[in-house]
């Protein structure tokens, strides 16, 4: 499948044939099963992950191939027009996924594990991977190609960016048992390692350094490497004073994420109540 997807992506035909759509459907079926992923664990990588660029090509291929069609349930009240290649994901009760009534949407071509709970309204885009037992709360977004582990809690209004292009770029990774507080945002290929806790309003991206007060260090993204939050880190929103120029004279501070501790029994006790909702 990889070679066929790459060939069709790299050499665009004048017209897409039925065989091309059959190939793309088989590719989406593999995404839905979790057999292929935009990124996957790799113990040999410095970050513990590797990008599967050909999978991203396949996802982009669907946008190229699809025509805009009417997907409306009731065109006069709620009109929907989107690419024919990316309808809403078909999920049945047998999959073990809870989709609470109220306006959520999951696009076709993404993996949703057993026991995932989707609180309305939330959105999961094509190419995403969401592990078993994860809670996706109201107004949360899981972007295209984002990888979210098992037993995570993605709290209300949290935003997990995707990174679909360029095809070689790492998407956002949120590993197992991570808690993302309300209004968090993780963007630009950041990696949040296992059992980390992001407090309310924490924003992670390539441009903003993270101050680790426990280990007296600064964690930043490199030119070729993403921002990586260590396992079990507890990150809160902080500020950093400007020390020179007009900003210093006016007492201005800049936002910065701060690691204030690493998980302990007290941290676990504070977040264990969420298990009652699963």
Q: Which of 38-52, 86-100, 219-233, 255-269 has the lowest mean pLDDT?
A: 255-269
pLDDT bin (cut points 50, 70, 90) of residue 7 is very high
- Alpha-carbon dihedral angle through residues 235, 241, 245, 250, given to the nearest 10 degrees: 130
CB 216, CB 192: distance < 8 Å: no
Give the span between the Cα atoms of 100 and 104, in whole angstroms: 8
Give me the DSSP letters along 13-39. -SS--HHHHHHHHHHHHHHHHTSS-SE
Sheet (strand 197-198) strand order = 98-99, 117-118, 135-136, 153-154, 179-180, 197-198, 233-241, 253-262, 210-212, 217-219
pLDDT band, very low/low/confident/very high, at 269 (cuts 50, 70, 90): low
Pick the CATH number of 5-68+85-204 from 3.40.50.360, 2.40.30.20, 2.160.10.10, 2.70.150.10: 2.160.10.10
Quickly tell me which residue has 């039925």 as its tokens. Answer: 18
Position 276 pLDDT exceeds 80: no
The pLDDT tens digits for 204-236 are: 999 999 999 999 999 999 988 999 999 999 999
Q: How far apart are CA 9 and CA 3, in angstroms?
A: 10
Pairing verdict, β 111-112 and 81-83: unpaired
pLDDT above 90 coverage of the chain, percent: 88
The DSSP call for residue 62 is H
Mean pLDDT of 1-8: 97
Residue 81 near residue 70 (C-beta atoms within 8 A): yes
**What does the domain layout of the chain look like in residue ranges?**
5-68+85-204
Of the candidates 121, 84, 82, the residue with the CA atom closest to the CA atom of residue 99? 121
278 confidence band (pLDDT: 50, 70, 90) = low
> Average pLDDT over the chain, rounded to whole?
94
């Amino acid at each position: 499948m990889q070679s066929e997807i790459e060939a069709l992506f790299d050499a665009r035909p004048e017209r897409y044939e039925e065989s091309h759509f059959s190939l793309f459907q088989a590719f989406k079926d593999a995404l839905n099963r979790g057999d292929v992923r935009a990124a996957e664990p790799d113990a040999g990588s410095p970050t513990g992950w590797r990008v599967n660029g050909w999978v991203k090509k396949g996802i982009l291929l669907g946008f190229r191939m699809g025509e805009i069609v009417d997907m409306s349930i009731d065109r006069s009240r709620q009109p929907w027009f989107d690419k024919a290649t990316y309808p809403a994901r078909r999920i049945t009760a047998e999959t073990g996924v809870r989709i609470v009534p109220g306006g959520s949407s999951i696009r076709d071509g993404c993996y949703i594990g057993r026991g995932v709970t989707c609180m309305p309204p939330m959105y999961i885009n094509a190419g995403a991977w969401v592990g078993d037992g994860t809670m996706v709360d109201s107004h949360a977004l899981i972007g295209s190609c984002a990888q979210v582990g098992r037993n995570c809690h993605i709290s209300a209004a949290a935003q997990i960016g995707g990174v679909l292009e360029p095809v070689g770029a790492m998407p956002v990774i949120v590993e197992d048992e991570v808690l993302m507080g309300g209004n968090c945002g993780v963007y630009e290929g950041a990696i949040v390692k296992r059992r980390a806790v992001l407090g309310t309003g924490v924003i992670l991206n390539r441009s903003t350094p993270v101050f680790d007060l426990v280990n007296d260090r600064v964690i930043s993204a490199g030119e070729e490497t993403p921002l990586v939050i260590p396992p079990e880190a507890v990150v809160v929103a902080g500020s950093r004073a400007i020390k020179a120029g007009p900003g210093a004279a006016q007492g201005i501070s800049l936002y910065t994420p701060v690691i204030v501790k690493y998980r302990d029994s007290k941290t676990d006790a504070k977040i264990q109540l969420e298990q009652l909702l699963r």
